[in-house]
Structure 1
């Protein structure tokens, strides 16, 4: 009787199949972990950086690292005073960090962007929000490009995690010179 394989060849094939099975199992685990990380980052929570002068004194110009949650925005529960990150209307590749000063149906008193003139009242249309930086003298926001579609909001910032000496919850409030009237 002739054997198709020698003992050494059978053992090599067995080792190879065990190795491939082990690789397939590890690959499956890696793909599942990557899918979980993607889900958490896109739909639950992520780290983000907010830098620039428009949100002074709330955030530093050099950049603060924030925890951003997506659940509030997904279910439409953003409130006036919340700090959100949104896709810029002027440059869709850019993300801006601003405070919500009006929701759909609200009337917002727009502070003038310069010291000239008085503020005006603007009604926020359906499906939009009014976003404005805390540093009104150095912020390009809804005063310049109008109400922002709600769908462009990426998430709500709720915790500052860097720099270490400023770690803490991000306060939700309406800055003083702004008027806000809800029609609800």
Structure 2
């Protein structure tokens, strides 16, 4: 009888802990692995884990230059990490080599027969990977609805690094906004 009470108590604590972790990860912060080369050199292609703040969900409080986690517009079962390079109302120069992606349903803001520009619509943002040559981003699937944003990346751990080196655990680093607004 004593064993049953003990296991019941342990099960109760484990269940409460699991519920706490679920609520914390759903509503406050998420710790998740990233894979792929699109965000090199900011994030590694393997064994990099990011801390994502859910406060910024649905685009709340985000700025140009922030790194985000969002659902992929072409496959909502996948998540992507990208950097915001355009906010609603911004004018974006479309890469001439990718103009086929912006044909029928995209309203061009300006067209001088060589350069084509698109204005980021209200409720959307423009995202790109830091490694442009290996990134599927807004250049491929157009502007990203703010409602697909799941959080802002605030830090990362590199599990390719040793457990503890030079006062840092697993290559911990903050992910900063590196946007520089150039004067006109």
Q: Fold-level match, TM-score > 0.5?
A: yes
Matches within 5 A, 1:78-93: 78-93=62-77
Q: Is the 8 A contact 2:58 2:148 kept in 1?
A: no
RMSD: 2.9
* Among 164, 173, 179, the residue aligned to 1:174: 179
* Aligned equivalent of 1:53, options 37, 55, 63: 37
How many corresponding residue pairs? 160
Which has the higher mean CA deviation after the structures are superposed, 94-103 or 72-81?
72-81
1:96 to 80, 93, 101: 80
Q: TM-score, normalised to structure 2's length?
A: 0.72
Find the counterpart in structure 1 of residue 152 from structure 2.
156
Give the TM-score, by structure 1 length: 0.72
CA distance in structure 2 between the aligned counterparts of 1:54 and 1:60, rounded to whole angstroms:
9
**Residue 29 in 1 paired to residue 13 in 2?**
yes
- Give the unaligned 5+ runs of structure 1: 1-15
Gaps of 5+ in 2: 99-112, 166-170
> How far did residue 62 of structure 1 move?
2.6
Q: 1:23 Cα shift?
A: 5.3
**Cα separation, 2, equivalents of 1:145 and 1:111:** 13
More helix by share: 1
Q: Distance in 2 between matches of 1:96 and 1:28?
A: 36
Distance 1:112 1:39, change over 3 A: farther
Contact 2:58 2:146 in 1 (8 A): no
Matched-pair contact (CA < 8 Å) for 2:67–2:82? yes
Deviation at 1:156? Answer: 1.0
1:127 aligns with 2:132: no
Q: Is the 8 A contact 1:160 1:169 kept in 2?
A: yes
Structure 1 residue 174 displacement after superposition: 3.2
Contact 2:156 2:172 in 1 (8 A): yes
Select the structure of larger CA radius of gyration. 1
Higher strand share goes to which structure? 2
